[in-house]
Structure 1
């Protein structure tokens, strides 16, 4: 959670900037954070920034930054940012994030963990703007955080969330009409033409624009969601059928054009809250995976299990991700199983 002084500083940086570039994580919290700020300040362009392994944000984006000549680079919801990456940017840098604290020089760095708090980046974006409450709610619930403005959302959109409904993030995601919005946002930053999809998302003024397809842009966003949702549901059903009675669910699948490890692992975690969930996608000579555990610190376990193995990763207390060489996959799984006992 940002302090009042921090909010003032961030507002000043964004208001005074004439050509910002936003680099944001491509999960729903990161996407919503960008959309909230872009819609409010009405300037700049956004890039769903992929990571380059343990080195953090892929340096390929540095070329684009040089070409666009921004006066401010805004980095949102990225867990790993190196000093080398920062030093390659020749303008002011603003970072808003809630992952474990980083030690970086020459940046404007805002993270609630400085105050021993942790809220999603989309929550902070709403603090800054007091706009787009519906997007902030989506981003927060995706990160399994129920915001203090959830009741205001219910009053504004009673057909999406009943005023007396359970406020557990898992319930809201998988048992209500509201939950569909999370995958609508997520699936529109997959596949091709992501820049076009972002512009369409930026144009939405309410959840009804897309749910009821009230605008041409909302119609296109919903159409793309439907396309990817079919692929996701097919993969999820395959994963569900492979679940046995063990304490740990491990589902692997071959490389495909679109990754759904995050979405599949999240839903399996909701359905089987007392188990460790690992969903791993085969990619080249490695496995890229999402890990979940509702009861224990999976983020810390990932770090420990990777010691002396060819891989990298980490995450939050109950959700994380990693990439590991195929040759070390079975060792990693065995270690996670032992650590999660």
Structure 2
């Protein structure tokens, strides 16, 4: 089950009644597409990309004070602190699909509050707003989810997707709309300023072909930015060497651009029988991304990290976290043992 019809209507009404929102969104394809659909619906607002830990806390209150807003939307962000809610002193609408949290004085939409099934935030936004199906499709596929409106999408864009594709990883890595999803993820890499320049340009792009075929100056700009970032990504990907172990592990240094989530997704597509662990060595910690095709890795990671200097969280088959560098070997030995027991 997803959100109810009543909940979708409430989201629509929240968007309809807003004229100058402040919109926080996650720095991936799902978060960006959710923002773009909402921005296109309202035709105004200010976006704030969250490129660090996905938590809206008191350090973001300055954004609230700087912008003459009428409402705050939080899209695809795992946590909003009660302190932020209480201090913002304005209406906040939070639309998300991560593990539900209890908060007061906030309008909160999360399909996991209804049952154990969830959908990406871009799916929820499309169901509520019914605009830009190509953005909704790209956002969903970027989050490893083939939506129930894929047939509707194919009617409009038959060359970008196929009804024969049933697996999300195949959708992401073998279709043109999957390529769009990758492009949207990669243009958010680098500095906040650079990312938001691309976001601003994306608010003016109306069709995916502007990017794929570079038919407009805006589309060319986005595609050229993607190509520059992608060359760095391909360099990292070429370094990964699989072994006979159940877990495929790849660690890279912080002086290289962060691609942990992207790498773990593609490595799982290439090696579906393995547990994928990709880490970035940064400031004394290994920042980690985990993927699994069948084993619910979220709980195993939480058990392995217990008692160590670190944390984890996310979805059952795709999660993240970090652990102190000197604790990493202990963590991995625990995880390897737990994975063997789970097989």
Report the TM-score range of the alignment, normalised by the length of the smaller protein.
Answer: over 0.9
> Residue 10 of structure 2 aligns with which residue?
9
CA deviations on 1:32-59 (whole Å, 9 max, x unpaired) are: 1111111122121111113448xx2354
> Residue 186 of structure 1 aligns with which residue?
185
> Residue 73 of structure 1 aligns with which residue?
72
Map 1:49-68; keep pairs closer than 5 Å: 49-52=50-53, 56-57=55-56, 59-68=58-67
Aligned residues: 336
Determine the C-alpha separation between the residues in 1 that align with 2:53 and 2:168. 30
> Residue 164 of structure 2 aligns with which residue?
165
Give the C-alpha shift of residue 237 in structure 1.
Answer: 0.8
> Residue 237 of structure 1 aligns with which residue?
238
Q: Is the alpha carbon distance of 1:285 and 1:59 closer, same or farther for their aligned partners in structure 2, counting shifts above 3 Å?
A: farther
> Residue 154 of structure 2 aligns with which residue?
154
Give the C-alpha shift of residue 302 in structure 1.
Answer: 2.0
Q: Is the alpha carbon distance of 1:257 and 1:238 closer, same or farther for their aligned partners in structure 2, counting shifts above 3 Å?
A: closer
Deviating more after overlay: 2-11 vs 145-154: 2-11
> Residue 36 of structure 1 aligns with which residue?
37
Q: Is the alpha carbon distance of 1:338 and 1:80 closer, same or farther for their aligned partners in structure 2, counting shifts above 3 Å?
A: farther
> Residue 135 of structure 1 aligns with which residue?
135
User: TM-score under structure 2 normalisation?
Assistant: 0.94
CA deviations on 1:275-320 (whole Å, 9 max, x unpaired) are: 1100000111111111011111111222222211111121101100
Asked if 1 retains the 8 angstrom alpha-carbon contact of 2:246 and 2:275, the reply is yes
> Residue 263 of structure 1 aligns with which residue?
262
Asked if 1 retains the 8 angstrom alpha-carbon contact of 2:144 and 2:172, the reply is no
Give the C-alpha shift of residue 165 in structure 1.
Answer: 2.7
Asked if 1 retains the 8 angstrom alpha-carbon contact of 2:142 and 2:178, the reply is no
> Residue 281 of structure 1 aligns with which residue?
280
CA deviations on 1:88-142 (whole Å, 9 max, x unpaired) are: 2121110001111100011000001111131111000001111111111111111
5+ long unaligned stretches in structure 2: none
Determine the C-alpha separation between the residues in 2 that align with 1:229 and 1:296. 30
Asked if 1 retains the 8 angstrom alpha-carbon contact of 2:97 and 2:121, the reply is yes
Stretches of 4+ aligned residues off by more than 4 angstroms? none
Give the C-alpha shift of residue 167 in structure 1.
Answer: 2.6
CA deviations on 1:169-203 (whole Å, 9 max, x unpaired) are: 11111122332111110011111322211011111
> Is 1:197 the equivalent of 2:161?
no
- The residue matched to 1:197 in structure 2 has which SS? helix
> Residue 123 of structure 1 aligns with which residue?
123
Asked if 2 retains the 8 angstrom alpha-carbon contact of 1:49 and 1:58, the reply is no
What is the alpha-carbon root mean square deviation over aligned residues? 1.5
- The residue matched to 2:320 in structure 1 has which SS? strand
